[in-house]
Structure 1
Amino acid sequence: MNWLDIGAVDDIPLRGARIVKTKAGCVAVFRTDVEEVFAASNTCPHKAGPLAEGIVHGQKVTCPLHNWVFDLNTGKAQGADEGRIDTYPVRIETGRILLDATKLLARQAA
């Protein structure tokens, strides 16, 4: 795995999100609880809505444009026949968020 330090957990508000720019590409990082974060694509596959501007609830995010709801664990859209966002492994160590950039790097190379 290729772990990148992308910032402090406290840089992301509870039930909020931020865009993180890395050399491997941009991702949306969502904070759902005090010590729980997820990383995913920022772009809704439906109408390209900016998911980091959506509503974070439980372990889900709702697109701000057309209310599609995505599970931040799997990336799957709820209630839609199709629709999925890329998700990326993250972990927290001593208050810092580490992102596994392996999938991002593979996407960039394709």
Structure 2
Amino acid sequence: MTTWNLICPLDDIPPLGSRIVQRPTGGDIAIFRTAADEVFALHDKCPHKGGPLSQGLVHGKRVTCPLHGWNFELESGQAVAPDSGCSQTFAVKVEDGQVLLALN
């Protein structure tokens, strides 16, 4: 059974921006908001060199790592070719204007 955790109102995350959620078990989660108000959650660490994806540029349904320009699909966490690698994804949703994240 999924336990949903209230994170914040959607409006607290700027369009094309992100918000960081700290996990007690370590490894921050970045919650991204697209221009279309979709939300996605990825481990806030680029698999290439460990860059903070939360500081990257959001475009469409992708984020670009600020360190070396690798692009990642927000839906799957997969790097866009020719790069390879994957950032862990987390279940996230918006209900009644509130962002909810599954941490289990």
d(CA) in 2 for partners of 1:48, 1:80: 18
**Does the 8 Å contact 2:70/2:83 carry over to 1?**
no
d(CA) in 1 for partners of 2:38, 2:60: 10
Structure with the higher helix share, 1 or 2: 1
The answer to whether residue 77 in structure 2 is matched with residue 67 in structure 1 is no
CA gap 1:58/1:100 in 2 versus in 1, 3 angstroms: same
Write out the 4+ residue segments of structure 1 that deviate beyond 4 Å after TM superposition: none
| 1:5 paired residue number | 6
**Does the 8 Å contact 1:24/1:101 carry over to 2?**
no
d(CA) in 2 for partners of 1:81, 1:22: 28
Percent identical residues: 48
Classify the secondary structure of the residue corresponding to 1:78.
coil
| 1:55 paired residue number | 57
**Does the 8 Å contact 1:35/1:92 carry over to 2?**
no
Q: Which amino acid aligns with 2:21?
A: V
| 2:21 paired residue number | 20
Q: CA deviation at 1:23?
A: 3.7
Aligned pairs, number: 102
Structure with the higher strand share, 1 or 2: 1
Q: CA deviation at 1:34?
A: 4.6
Classify the secondary structure of the residue corresponding to 1:74.
coil
TM-score (norm 1): 0.86
Classify the secondary structure of the residue corresponding to 2:34.
strand
- Listed one character per residue, the Cα deviations across residues 62-100 of structure 1 (whole Å, up to 9, x for unaligned) are 000101000010110001453100011111111110111
Classify the secondary structure of the residue corresponding to 2:11.
helix
